[in-house]
Structure formats: C-alpha cells, structure tokens
Amino acid sequence: MTKKEKAKYIVEELEKLYPETPIPLDHKDSYTLLISVLLSAQCTDKRVNLVTPALFKLADNPYDMIKLSVAEIKEIIRPCGLSPRKSQAIFTLSEMIIDLHNGEVPASFEALEALPGVGHKTASVVMAQAFGVPAFPVDTHIHRLLTRWGVTSGKNVVLTEIDAKKIFPERLWNKLHLQIIFYGREYSPSRSPKNSIDFITNSIGTAKAKKELV
C-alpha cells in the first residue's frame, strides 16, 4: 500500500467503527473543556471525568476559579496527578483569561499556547472541539498508531502531526483524531505487545508482505 492507500483504508475502517465521535472529556463549554484537557495530561479521561464534577460545581468559569486558592484546586484535582503544577496553571490561566481576554477562552493557537499549562496538543483539542477550527491533535497514542500504520516516519509528535495533515483531508482532521484514539483504546492498547486484534495494523502489514513477495 502507498501512504495514500493506507490513509484511505484507515479512514474507511474508522468511519465504519466510529461514525459518531463524542468528546470523551465531560464539559459544557470552551472553558471547562480547556480545564479538562489540561487535567488529562498523564491521566486517563475516565479519571478526569470523575474529578471535574466536584471542581466545576465550585468553579466552572474563570471568575469563580480565581475565588478558590491554588491549594483548594490542588486538593480537588489530586487524583489526576501532577496536582501542584496543574493547580497553579489552572489558577493562573484563569487570571489571564479574565485580564487578557475578557473572561472568554481565546480562539487562537497563539493565545491559547501563551496560557500556562497549555501546550500545542491541548490548544489543538480546544481549537478543534470547542471552536471547530481544523486541527490534528497528536498525542503519544496517535503517534504510536500512525507510526505503526506506516503513515508517518516521524520521530516525535510534532513530525507526526505534520505528516498526518499532509496525508489526511483537512475536513476530516477534527473527527479523525478522535476516531484514532477510540480505535487505539479498543483494538490496540499500548500495553498489548501482540496487537492480535489490531486489524488495521494486521491488514496493512499483510498488504506490505504481499507486495514484497511480488
């Protein structure tokens, strides 16, 4: 298979499996999505969704968030891990959203990435899912799968994102990155060395083997 053939096959199979792609992090607006994505760093979405109800009951907007102390935020989000750093980031970015953006989450990559605790991947998720701007957030799991599928030879998530944007149509980016995440969780978890049910990898590998025999 060429990279274009692989991409077409991947898109078709993922669309069959996941025609609908609900955002796995519970939220109600761009601010609560931003906070949830920040908390998901080195933490499962499931655990974030268990933690955020208590946080958002007290503060689901930047104005209420800065009424809490960093220590209070830290105690609530402790199960998500990295709570000292994340709690400070949540408090400070809330201040910045109020001071610099009139209390509204900014809808630009540059402004989002200027907020503490917000890297390119987090900004990409918010831009894609909150504002509908085409983006292709690549985390380590998407990087792992796209590398395994032979779509990219990127040595890191930055290069993988560049390759993914070249090979997949822009109109599919926002949905496709979620489909790949869902597929990875169901069919190709990172701790499964055999990948016995990862049929996309198996199919691409079979096609490659047949081509080499010709």
pLDDT in tens, 50-76: 999 999 999 999 999 999 999 999 999
Answer for the pair 62, 97: CB distance below 8 angstroms, yes or no. yes
Answer for the pair 117, 90: CB distance below 8 angstroms, yes or no. yes
| Cβ count near 12 (within 10 Å) | 9
Answer for the pair 208, 200: CB distance below 8 angstroms, yes or no. no
Average pLDDT over residues 33-51: 96
Average pLDDT over residues 85-90: 98
Q: What is the pLDDT of residues 141-165, one digit of tens each?
A: 899 999 999 999 888 999 999 999 9
Give the closest residue to 127 by CA, choosing from 174, 64, 84: 174
pLDDT at 196: 58
Q: Which helix (H) or strand (E) holds 182?
A: helix 173-187
- DSSP code for 64: H
pLDDT at 72: 98
* Domains of the chain, first to last: 3-21+137-213 (1.10.1670.10), 30-129 (1.10.340.30)
Residue numbers annotated as active site: 121, 139
